[in-house]
Amino acid sequence: MVRKGTVDGFGPLFEPVSIGGVQMQNRIAMAPIRTGGLVNPDGSLTQRCIDYYLERARGGAGLIITGCTRVENTVERLPGPTPPGFEAMASYGELAESLHHYGAKVFVQLTAGLGRVLPPDFIDTVNTPVSSSVLPVFWKGSIMTRELTADEIQAIVQAFGEVAGRLARVGVDGIELHGHEGYLFDQFATAVWNRRTDRYGGSVEGRLRFAVEVLNAVKKEAGADFPVVYQFGLKHYMSGRSPGPWSGILPGESGEEAGRDVMEGLEMARHLEKAGFDALQIDAGCFESRYWAHPPVYQEHACMVDLAAKTKAVVDVPVIAVGRLDIPEAAEDVLARRQADIIALGRGLLADPHWPMKVRSGGRSRIRPCIGCHYCLRRISQDRKPLSCAVNPACGRERLQSAGYVRSVKNVMVIGGGIGGMEAARTVASRGHHVELYETASQIGGHLLPAAVPTPRGSPSCAGWR
């Protein structure tokens, strides 16, 4: 049933909403996704990266949250792009101006570091990994982390303030702290990983002190009205005993939570609101249960909305929901039921950057769906190639793939109606040519046809996206 006063029955998605003093034109955010291969060695954004975000703003997203960005490289020395310094800020200013042209706001996600989840190919190139406490490294349990000193924590806090201040001055609208998935902020916030006896350990207040000190440093340098969002998993879905090893809890399984349970997650939410965070993005999982943090096709759509709803019941700041919300009806239902204030799409906007516009214009049947394959993560984490998407080859190369109409229209014959043939026909037609597609089988689709057959739960492995 179409609700009165809505656009095609999708009214709440397109109502304005504010985070702190920043008003978004709608309640659709782009969730943070790592921009592997799209950042220069000095931490500045490539034009390819700016084009990638710009296409999502052009498609109607109200808020773009960038992939996580490091703020310093002296405490945790890592290979790859350096934290963005003064010279890199011009690219962030260009990003902000470009997105603002289409009415979108931009928040830059900042991370404290990796800690115990340092990737395997980084372990041999850095000194001893750091963490909240002495812990086994996730990928190589025979190696132990060392505990960060109070002075090192303060150096990281100061770096957050400096980077946030620069971002605010070039027009970035806010930041998000990456406190999710078992990375360094989460290692401090979680009792099973934080065994400190100083002021950064013990109670929830002590374990969140690092994040709160960062919040205060950001507000001091960027301004009291500069919005800061905190992203964290309300529940880890991790079982096992200390000191590990731990394993993940699958959907529908029961097990004693070894990490953070919902009750402690809600206590965290209340504390973070009281400390002054302007919004909370509610997620789930950690490296031991990555099928929550990066839900594959076997996870239900809206699989983490219940956690956002529980959080919204105990805080007044805006709550951002995530978790396979790329079905418009599901996203709308979250807002209509007041389970969250904003819905965030990650891979759904990689597959179709114009998702918001298609929903608003009644063209949801034309949305190119995310198939939950995790090709995007495999490309940047395993193949070490620039970010892209299995069903949208233009993702990450928007300028190169942009359709340009030709002066001379041709008649084009495409032989073969498999995946490659269909994409070739679509691309050529989008440039204005007349296309005929020929296929000997009774149906086009090729390998997509057997791939579309539902698979019994539990039989496939999730290893392809790790």
Asked if residues 261 and 235 have their Cβ atoms less than 8 Å apart, the reply is: yes
Single out the residue in 371, 393, 415 at which a domain terminates: 393
Helix ranges, 277-346 (H): 290-293, 305-312, 328-336
The bridge status of strand 238-239 relative to strand 247-248 is antiparallel
- 407 and 384 in one domain? no
The pLDDT of residue 313: 98
Three-state DSSP at 272 gives helix
What span, in angstroms and rounded, lies between the C-alpha atoms of 245 and 70? 28
DSSP code of 339? S
Q: Confirm whether 39 is domain-assigned.
A: yes
- 442 and 304 in one domain? no
Other Cβ atoms closer than 10 A to 207: 25
The pLDDT of residue 10: 61
Q: Confirm whether 137 is domain-assigned.
A: yes
Mean pLDDT in each 10-residue stretch from start to end of the chain (466 residues)? 45 95 97 92 96 96 96 90 95 98 98 93 83 94 94 98 98 98 97 97 98 98 98 96 83 89 98 98 96 91 97 98 96 97 97 96 92 89 86 87 72 91 86 90 87 57 31
- 430 and 318 in one domain? no
- 427 and 377 in one domain? no
Q: Confirm whether 424 is domain-assigned.
A: yes
The pLDDT of residue 284: 97
- 235 and 197 in one domain? yes
Q: Confirm whether 349 is domain-assigned.
A: yes
The pLDDT of residue 7: 46
Give first-to-last CA distance, the chain, whole Å. Answer: 41
Other Cβ atoms closer than 10 A to 6: 15
Query: Which CATH number fits the domain that encloses residue 121?
Result: 3.20.20.70
Residue appearing with tokens 């296409």: 55
What span, in angstroms and rounded, lies between the C-alpha atoms of 298 and 314? 30
DSSP code of 18? E
What span, in angstroms and rounded, lies between the C-alpha atoms of 292 and 127? 30
Single out the residue in 393, 421, 449 at which a domain terminates: 393
- 364 and 239 in one domain? yes
Single out the residue in 346, 368, 393 at which a domain terminates: 393
- 132 and 97 in one domain? yes
Catalytic residue list:
183
The pLDDT of residue 3: 43
Asked if residues 402 and 410 have their Cβ atoms less than 8 Å apart, the reply is: no
Angle between helices 89-101 and 47-58 (to 10 degrees): 20
What span, in angstroms and rounded, lies between the C-alpha atoms of 333 and 339? 8
Closest of 360, 459, 465, 426 to residue 9, by C-alpha: 360
DSSP code of 181? B
- 53 and 24 in one domain? yes
- 409 and 305 in one domain? no
Domain housing 162? 12-393
